[in-house]
Amino acid sequence: MLTHFIGGLRVAAGPPFPVHDPVTGEVLRQVHEADPEVVDRAVRAAREAARDWAALPVAERAGWMRRLADGIEARFDDLVAAEIADTGKPLEQTRTLDIPRGAQNFRAFAEIAAQRPDDAFHLPGVLSYTVRRPLGVVAVIVPWNLPFLLMTWKLAPALVAGNTVVVKPSENTPGSAALFAEICAEVGLPDGVVNVVFGHGPSGRLLVEHPGVDGVTFTGSTATGRAIMKSVSDRVKPVSFELGGKNAGLVFADCDLDRAVDGTVKSVFTNGGQVCLCTERLYVERPIFEEFCARLAARAQEVTPQPMISAEHREKVLSYYDLARSEGAKVLTGGGVPSFGDSRDSGYFVEPTVVTGLSEWSRFNREEIFGPVCHVAPFDTEAEAVDLANGSDYGLAATLWTTNLDRAHRVAQRLEAGLVWVNTWYLRDLRTPFGGVKLSGIGREGGTQSLDFYSEPTTITIKLEQPDA
């Protein structure tokens, strides 16, 4: 039974709920659901710890970030096992990306914060300078697709900026958050600086609406982002949202075709398509359209299926497979449920799928699916490609495949997306801004952008008296 972590203590309170193994559908564990008393206790613990934590010099908080990174690496295998059990993702991805990136997040923000200068402005007889103060208590709402990576991506800048936090992971993936709470205790992090509560949507709503919470950071669906924004509007709490996407990929005829196909396979099917940055809409220049479609479909058949996170999400993805057919799509490969002949047949798998032939205004091409699927359509001109890519309510990420350097720069700057990759995908420098436009979010994470959200500037102006001549 997983228990909450509040003020440095395990708290067994609230009714239990089951977490299922997405590979087999079997119950993995029971977890306590946070009720109003649990949420209130967690927020009060964070508030009690906030003043002393904020008063620490940045260098000391950065030191704690490095100790947390060391603690993650000491429990590396345990975290890998927990993440795989909750998500069903591949061992290689978990060992080489998810858990190492968690430790890297803490080290990166320790360095960014320690090296960040204050602003000062001089005029004759006047000195103005800024100091930054933490928000206070931050609610951290974490999704299920990359639970440990995204939790640490938020925690590291929030903590090093001087905030205390209450974390609520997804009800589907509580394991790595529970282990991280143990790591906080093992490295001696002051009680109340990090608190973890478990539960479903109502528990998260209790947290973000609590009057003791000063800011909210959330990664997840646009619908949930809207609900959170409404919930916090009365108190005008600052929010940082990384929301949904319907990401476009543009493939020009002058691309390195092998490289474009390889990259597209990754951008469509990584993590079973359950990454906000995955490509769901592909536009391919007409001279190479048929060949590209054939090669992508063939490669999709070689992809090892990864389970969807839950039975509910599998049904959602399958409903879009059915929708594609009803809207007149041509299914190039996939479109159903794989058969394994073993316990995986009770899991939450769907087939990697490639379709074509739909209108840009079809529901399939307008709505985020969040599964291992893409639609491929041809284009004839650069201008048409840009218009197609931008013709979405979302604007998180885009990929661009071309060997023409002028086109790469020209098109990348015209795409309405927070991130644009040219001849690559998912390559990140943690110092750069991360986030989307339109329905894909508010604000940016990464580097000093994260520190800007988790702290507020105060400008101090001093009139300097001039000495007598």
Query: How confident is the model over 146-179, as pLDDT tens digits?
Result: 999 999 999 999 999 999 999 999 999 999 999 9
- Distance (Å, whole) CA 234 – CA 354: 44
- The question of whether 242 is a catalytic residue gets the answer yes
Q: Once rounded to an integer, what is the mean pLDDT over residues 310-331?
A: 98
Q: Looking at 33, 242, 285, 416, which residue is catalytic?
A: 242
Q: Looking at 255, 276, 278, 293, which residue is catalytic?
A: 276
Long-range contacts from 427-436, C-beta under 8 angstroms, 24+ separation: 430/104, 430/105, 430/108, 430/109, 431/108, 431/112, 434/242, 435/242, 435/396, 436/242, 436/243, 436/245, 436/394, 436/395, 436/396, 436/397
- Distance (Å, whole) CA 441 – CA 218: 10
- Give, in order, the Cα–Cα distances in Å from 193 to each of 134, 136, 214, 344: 13, 11, 14, 40
Dihedral (Cα; 56, 62, 65, 70), 10-degree rounding: -120
Which residue(s) pair with 68 in the sheet? none
- The region of weakest confidence among 119-133, 194-208, 270-284 is 119-133
According to DSSP H, which parts of 161-256 are helical? 175-187, 201-209, 222-232
CB 44 within 8 A of CB 16: no
**Single pTM value for the model:** 0.96
Q: Once rounded to an integer, what is the mean pLDDT over residues 261-277?
A: 98
Q: Which of 141, 121, 139 is nearest to 130 (CA)?
A: 121
pLDDT at 468 over 80: no
Q: Name the band, by pLDDT with cuts 50, 70 and 90, for residue 231.
A: very high
- The question of whether 360 is a catalytic residue gets the answer no
Q: Name the band, by pLDDT with cuts 50, 70 and 90, for residue 103.
A: very high
Structure tokens given for 380: 């004839």
Q: Once rounded to an integer, what is the mean pLDDT over residues 187-211?
A: 98
CATH number of 4-243+440-459: 3.40.605.10
pLDDT for 238 equals: 96
Q: Once rounded to an integer, what is the mean pLDDT over residues 424-435?
A: 95
Q: Name the band, by pLDDT with cuts 50, 70 and 90, for residue 118.
A: confident
pLDDT at 23 over 80: yes
Structure tokens given for 133: 């103060």
- Give, in order, the Cα–Cα distances in Å from 309 to each of 82, 146, 423: 14, 11, 30
Angle, helices 405-412 vs 382-390, to 10°: value is: 30
| Percent residues over pLDDT 70 in the chain | 100
Q: Once rounded to an integer, what is the mean pLDDT over residues 377-385?
A: 98
pLDDT for 181 equals: 98
SS3 (DSSP) at 175: helix
pLDDT for 321 equals: 98
CB 148 within 8 A of CB 120: no
Q: Once rounded to an integer, what is the mean pLDDT over residues 20-29?
A: 97
Residue 378: its H or E element: strand 373-379
pLDDT for 469 equals: 61
Half-sphere exposure of 329 (CA within 13 A, CB side): 29
pLDDT for 117 equals: 86
DSSP state of 2: B
Q: Which of 309, 234, 231, 239 is nearest to 272 (CA)?
A: 309
| Percent residues over pLDDT 90 in the chain | 97
pLDDT for 467 equals: 74
Q: Name the band, by pLDDT with cuts 50, 70 and 90, for residue 466.
A: confident
Cβ atoms within 10 Å of 290's Cβ, excluding its own: 11
Q: Where are the domains of the chain?
A: 4-243+440-459, 247-422
CATH 3.30.160.270 fits 247-422, yes or no: no
pLDDT at 258 over 80: yes
Q: What is the mean pLDDT of the chain?
A: 97
- Distance (Å, whole) CA 171 – CA 411: 40
